[in-house]
Every structure is written in C-alpha cells, then in structure tokens.
Structure 1
Amino acid sequence: MLAVFAHPDDAEISAGATLAGWTDEGRSVHLLVLTNGDRGSDDPGVSRVELARTRLKETETAAALLGLASVAILDVHDGDLANTPEIRARIARQVREVRPGIVVTCDPTVWFFGDRYFNHADHRAAGATTLDAVFPGAGNPHFFSDQLGDELTTWSVPEVWLGWTLEPNHHQDVTGRIDRKIAALAAHRSQVEGNMLGFFEEWLPREAEEAGRAIGVQHAESFRVLNLM
C-alpha cells in the first residue's frame, strides 16, 4: 500500500485509521509526502528551515504510531506543489519500488467543502499529480523509462482510493482505530498547538461516526475508490 499526500499531517487526517488497519493486518504501508510543510505556521518569526526539520521528525513519529513501513518527504516548499513531470516521476518511482495494490491520495476534484472552507491548492495538486503518475505513468514503459532496469520495472496499480472526497463509494470500517489516528495526528505538535487538537479530537470521531452509519459500524473512513484493473 502507498499513501501519497501533500503535507506531513494530511495522511493522518484523511486516512490515518485505514492505514493503521492495514498495518494491523500485516500489510506493508508506505507514505510519500510531496511537500516539506515549511510554511505550516502563522508565526512570522518561525524559521522555515527549522519548521521543515520539525515536521519531518513529527511525521516519523506519527508513522511509527501507525506502523508504516517507510516515510519519504520531498524537498518541495509548502504551497509550491505543481503537477510537473519531475514530481510525477518521483511518484512513479515510488509506485514502481513499492508495487502497491492500493494507492491512497486526495480527490483532486474537490474545491469547496460547504461555505466555510475551500481545498488547499497543494491537496488538489497532490491528487491530480498522483493520478497522472499512476496512469499512464508508472505502468507504461515509455514514461520515465530512465528509471527502468533489472531492479525496477513498470507497475500498474489495481486501485486508487481518494480521500477527502464528496463522492464516496466506499466506507472503510475503522472501528477501534480512531484513537490511534488521533494519536498519530497529535504527534504533529507544530500543527495542533492550542485548541486545534481539541477540535480534531471532537471532529474526527464525529466524521467517522457519520461514515460508519453508512455501513452499520461504529467508525469508518470514506473514499472514492477507482478500480483500474
């Protein structure tokens, strides 16, 4: 399994309980973060270099709590993510190395959540870039062919799961794993200072309960699943 998200705490918020469930089942789950999170602060006095280092450490701590097999963070500035051949190549390489049965990312079609929030540009870019890297990228030998050799071959991803979607067609039972999701998010201390952790401790279980009602379980996470094979 491979999760590809824009910022160091996105995977936890969007799919943390699902990732924890997969690792509990003995599956290898890998995380690729496409920006270093160096603008994730409203404090003008914060060093962006130090913030990026902090967020890497926080991501590694959170990954350990979720049982992830590996974490990689690209050296791309927060807010600068774009769907470029270079980023698509990096994602395609990770896909070819990991050979995942499922890739999890953001739904790039979502711009607005109600009337109070619109989706971060990096989130939209992460979803679109990941989809383009998966197809036709990683599975086609004529894309990023310089990567290919005896130890690296093409890989066609069977399924893509899009989180933060307004068009879910799958609700993943995560009953018993919401506390771990919140604990992993809390490891991102630079992002949940003040009242933010309390907000997530209230909001995330409520969202999971709503998703769970769709399939008759206590908690679930919702995705738009694309079956590509």
Structure 2
Amino acid sequence: MLDDAEIKNVLVVTAHPDDIDFGGAGTVAKLVDAGADVVYCLVTDGDAGGFDRKLDNGGMAAARRAEQMAAARCVGVEDIRFLGYRDGMVEQSLDLRRDIARVIRQVRPDLVLASTPERNYARLGPSHPDHRAVGGATLDAVYPDARNPYAFPELLADEGLEAWIVREVWLMGTMTPDRYVDVTATVDRKIEALRAHESQTAHMDNLDEFVRSWLATNAAAAGLPEGRFAEAFQAVATA
C-alpha cells in the first residue's frame, strides 16, 4: 500500500458534482495540504439532479458545474475536467473506459479515488447506477487500459499519451472499508465544499450534524479516539 509520502499526483473520478465532496473531500484537502496535485474528472454535469424545477437540464448542468468548481476551491483543487456524459444514463462502456484512460494518461496519478462498482446494501445512496458504472469503468481504465500501450492505441498514436500504471485505487461508498483517513483537521472544509453544492444541500438544515456524525462513526470503526473524524475507503492495489 502507498505511504502518504508517495502520493504526489491524485486523480478523482466520479459520476456527478458533489460525489467527491460527500465521499472524500476531507481526504482531498488533506492530500493537497501535504503537497499533492489533485485533479477532478467528472463524467456527467449532474444535469438530472437537484430540486429547482425552474431550471431545465441545461441550466441545471451549468449550475452544478459552477457549484463543483466552487466546492473544489474549498479544498484547494483547481483542475476540473468534465466528460459530458448524460446524468442518469451512464453505462460501463468502451467509450467511457477510453475517456477515463485518456485522463489517467494525461494526469499520471499515483492514486485514483473513485466510487465502488459494487452495490451497497447497507446504504443505497452510494449505489446510484451512474456511481457503479463509473466505478467499474474507472477500475477497467486503471487496469488494463491505461497501462497497456496496445489498449486504445489512438491515445498514443494520435495524442501522444504514453501508458501509465496507477499504483493504487481508493473506492468510496464501499461496504468493506479497510483504509481510513483522519480528516479531523479538514472536516470544516469538507462541509464548506458540500454547502457549495446549493442545488443539492441547501434543503439540509442538519448538514453539519449529519456529516460529523457519519465521520465520527468511521473514526470509531478505525479505532481513533473520541472527537476524531474519518473518511472510509476500500484500498485496491493494482500490482
């Protein structure tokens, strides 16, 4: 498993704006504070999400892109890439694998964060079909696509993108976490990032309490002292 000091470049791949902020913004802030370069890759613009019926899909997409950019600034991330797939209609396709493999070869990350491709039967929220499709496509893009120069040869021939080996993947929303990150020092910035997603969280009067309770439960599962907060992942080594 990667030591913290080995994590220099990080790519986060999620289906929707706000997925990373619910699942791992505290960890992202901690990585950025430690000197890592973090890039976000969002497969959709979140055009099918939100509660404002006055916005059409195009208006919602623009609003959610802006919210994600504001949320990213809260945790120190500036490089955000949108792939433009339709929210609610994502499939684990060859096209999606190629598009994610392209970003992996561009960013050349040591670590990738993504949603788990498995259904979470304890908590259905992480099991949105887009989450599972993006999680599965990301794992396929990590292995074998991004590392194999013969996979999607146009990435090398037409775009000059050499193969790249991602060393580790951390999956969010898993039922079987084995990697806990103490985010006590960054939990306030995580909540600030979540509040930036006004279309998704403005109605949540108890957002602060909800997030702290959830992360305190993770910290207890990790054996951390009372008063600490943690985010939970399943770590997948790629070697």
Same fold (TM over 0.5): yes
What is the aligned residue count? 226
1:41 aligns with 2:76: no
Cα distance, 1:117 vs structure 2: 5.3
Cα distance in 1, alignment partners of residues 189 and 51 from structure 2: 27
Contact 2:14 2:114 in 1 (8 A): yes
- List aligned pairs for 1:41-190, cutoff 5 A: 41-114=50-123, 119-149=127-157, 151-190=160-199
Cα distance, 1:176 vs structure 2: 1.3
Matched residue of 1:29: which SS?
Answer: strand
Contact 1:112 1:118 in 2 (8 A): no
Matched residue of 2:24: which SS?
Answer: helix
1:208 aligns with 2:215: yes
Q: TM-score, normalised by structure 1?
A: 0.93
Contact 1:3 1:104 in 2 (8 A): yes
Cα distance, 1:42 vs structure 2: 4.0
Cα distance in 2, alignment partners of residues 54 and 41 from structure 1: 10
Cα distance in 2, alignment partners of residues 227 and 7 from structure 1: 25
Q: Which residue identity lines up with residue 157 of structure 1 in the other structure?
A: V
The Cα offsets for residues 145-195 of structure 1, whole Å up to 9 and x where unpaired, read as 10115842100110000011110111111111111001011111111122x
Contact 1:29 1:68 in 2 (8 A): yes
Rate the CA distance shift 1:117–1:173 in 2: closer, same or farther, 3 A: closer
Pick one of 213, 221, 227 that aligns with 2:231.
221
Cα distance in 1, alignment partners of residues 215 and 58 from structure 2: 35
Contact 1:35 1:75 in 2 (8 A): yes
Superposition misfits of 4+ residues, deviation over 4 angstroms: none
The Cα offsets for residues 7-58 of structure 1, whole Å up to 9 and x where unpaired, read as 0010000001000000011100000011111111344442110110111111
Which stretch shifts more, 163-172 or 204-213? 204-213
Cα distance in 1, alignment partners of residues 151 and 206 from structure 2: 43
Which stretch shifts more, 102-111 or 155-164? 102-111
Q: CA RMSD in A?
A: 1.6
- Structure 2: 5+ residue runs without aligned partners? 1-9
Cα distance in 1, alignment partners of residues 53 and 78 from structure 2: 35
Contact 2:143 2:238 in 1 (8 A): no
Cα distance, 1:199 vs structure 2: 3.3
Q: TM-score, normalised by structure 2?
A: 0.90
Contact 2:120 2:174 in 1 (8 A): no
Contact 2:167 2:237 in 1 (8 A): yes
How many percent identity over aligned positions? 36
